[in-house]
């Protein structure tokens, strides 16, 4: 071996000694999901669940739900313009006709109409406290048309009682 190779090997052997241990431990809060119709810790949900909480929603004020949700892996939106125009979603390649949408536990699709899928274009983030996406077939919880998954939109609660 020549001198350069020997020096590089010695340098690479010494470098890990300079790594510092982490001094403080960061405790994370438990994430509670309600996407399976009852409050459950995320690690016990039994499905792939993505939860966007209040902090993430407030970090992007003035945006529609389409802009917020388009950053979630496996979710893609197509829109015909700005907020208020028609928007469609696919989750893991499954079209929106096979994706459920609920607001505070109430199904917002319209099975009596010709377009049963929920139009995400009119949804803003101003009144949302959290958004949960359950990926994969969820027909046992949300009905037979949730092959791709289901969105659960949770609205903000009033800070004070009264009007």
pLDDT confidence of residue 155: 86
Task: Look over the chain and give the mean of its residue pLDDT values, rounded to a whole number.
Answer: 76
This prediction has a pTM of 0.66
How buried is 152 (Cβ within 10 angstroms: 0-12 exposed, 13-18 middle, 19+ buried)?
buried
More confident residue, 31 or 98: 98
Among 19-33, 77-91, 130-144, whose mean pLDDT is lowest?
19-33
pLDDT confidence of residue 31: 61
Tell me: the pLDDT tens digits for 115-133?
Answer: 677 777 778 888 888 888 8
pLDDT exceeds cutoff 80 at 73: yes
**Which residues have C-beta within 8 Å of that of residue 89, sequence separation ≥ 6?**
69, 75, 76, 77, 96, 99, 120
More confident residue, 34 or 4: 4
Per-residue H/E/C for 15-78: HHHHCCCCCCCCCCCCCEECCCCCCEEHHHCCCEEEEECHHHHHCCCCCEHHHHHCCCCCEEEE
pLDDT confidence of residue 104: 86
Percent of the chain having pLDDT more than 90? 0
Q: Do 128 and 153 contact (CB within 8 A), yes or no?
A: yes
What are the structural domains of the chain? 23-155 (2.170.130.10)
DSSP string for 93-148: TEEGGGEEEEETTEE---TTSS--S--GGG-BSTTEEEEEEEES--HHHH-TT-SS
pLDDT confidence of residue 110: 66
């Amino acid at each position: 071996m020549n001198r350069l190779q020997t020096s590089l090997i010695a340098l690479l052997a010494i470098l890990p000694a300079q790594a510092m241990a982490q001094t403080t431990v960061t405790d994370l809060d438990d994430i509670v999901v309600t996407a399976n119709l009852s409050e459950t810790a995320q690690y016990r949900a039994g499905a792939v669940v993505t939860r966007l909480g209040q902090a993430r929603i407030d970090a992007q004020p003035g945006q529609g739900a389409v802009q917020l949700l388009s950053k979630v892996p496996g979710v893609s939106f197509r829109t015909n313009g700005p907020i208020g125009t028609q928007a469609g979603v696919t989750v893991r390649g499954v079209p929106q006709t096979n994706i459920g949408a609920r607001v505070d536990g109430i199904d917002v699709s319209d099975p009596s109409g010709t377009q049963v899928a929920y139009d995400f274009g009119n949804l803003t983030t101003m009144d949302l406290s959290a958004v949960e996406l359950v990926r994969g077939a969820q027909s046992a919880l949300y009905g037979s048309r949730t092959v791709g998954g289901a969105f659960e939109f949770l609205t903000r609660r009033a800070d004070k009682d009264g009007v």
